Amino acid sequence: MPKMEYTAKQLAKILKGTVEGDPDVKVTDFAKIEHGKPGHLCFYANPKYEQYVYTCKASALLVNKDFEPKQPVTPTLIRVENAYSSLADLLKYVSTQRRTDRRHRGFRSSWFLTTKFGKKVYLGSHSYVGHHAEIGDYTKIYENVYVGDNTKIGKHCLIYPGVSIYPGMIIGDNVIIHSNAVIGSDGFGNAPQPDGTWEKIEHLGNVIIGDNCEIGACTTIDRAEMESTIIGKGVKIDNLCQIAHNVEIGDNTVMAAQCGIAGSTKIGKNCILAGQVGIAGHLTIADNTTIGAQAGVIGNIKEPGQTLLGSPSLPIKNYMRSYAIFKKQGKE
């Protein structure tokens, strides 16, 4: 996340909006509306999140110009035509400022002064570790690996050939990342425009991977739009999985090949996802949930310990009853 400091007045000018509240309040970071604290800038565009408008403690909040609060609001409001599109514009602006301010720094002697390697680290040929990165003791980084600036990798990790780890990622101890996995690519975030085109939303967050995780070959874990995509401790992810931006996966959850998790979904602890499971975005999956192969989850799973099958997914007893009817009708 790049450092920034703007007043509400400055943000309103950049976004061609208006200020309702203190125009001089300062923001230094982005956050999701449910996590907003003083110094944060949040946004509200989806009515599903209106409850958080009244509990948000952020310094400033982007809202649509026609939004009418039903309760008192703490943050200074910045009213714009479209809060989601304005967020995309602002993330792009901040990202551009970051790229403009940062000088190109090639592989030179100063690199060794800014990058920290622990004891007995192995770095394979044609691998690159960026400036201000930290690599823990006994970690092995095999050939043709890219590790971006400001990334932290813990102790006793194995990073296999061809892995790409974008700048600013955080990886715990005893983590295994298999060949050609990508950690920290931009999520699939695009804001619709009035003319039917799509405006890319810059992603300024990161990925945090806990201790004792294993990430399969060719799996992609996208960085968050803001804040972090979080993979809990002991999580095991198979090959060819897609974890979208701002997803959170609880400790000791396992996921078989070709699973896809859409953005901002929260999966609980000790869950099991069989092959090709698809989970829609902005959902919550309870702890100890088991989801059968090729199941499609389109709603929240609130009760822990369930087993679900089918698409759309159903609790196993309901699914088997339904399947018995389908099977009978198929014979008629």
- Using alpha carbons, list the distances in angstroms from residue 265 to 224, 268, 274, 284, 328: 12, 10, 17, 6, 36
- Is 40 a catalytic site residue? no
| Token pair 């945090």: residue | 208
Of the listed 40, 178, 203, 245, which one is catalytic? Answer: 245
One DSSP character per residue, 182-198 reads EEEEPP--EEE-TTS-E
- Could you give the count of Cα atoms lying within 13 Å of 189 in the half-sphere of its Cβ? 25
Reading phi first (left if > 0) and then psi (alpha if -120 to 50, else beta), residue 218 is in left
Question: How would DSSP label each residue in 102-151?
Answer: SPP--S-TTHHHH-EE-TT-EE-TT-EE-TT-EE-TT-EE-TT-EE-TT-
Count CA atoms within 13 Å of residue 222 on its CB side: 22
Residues labelled catalytic: 245
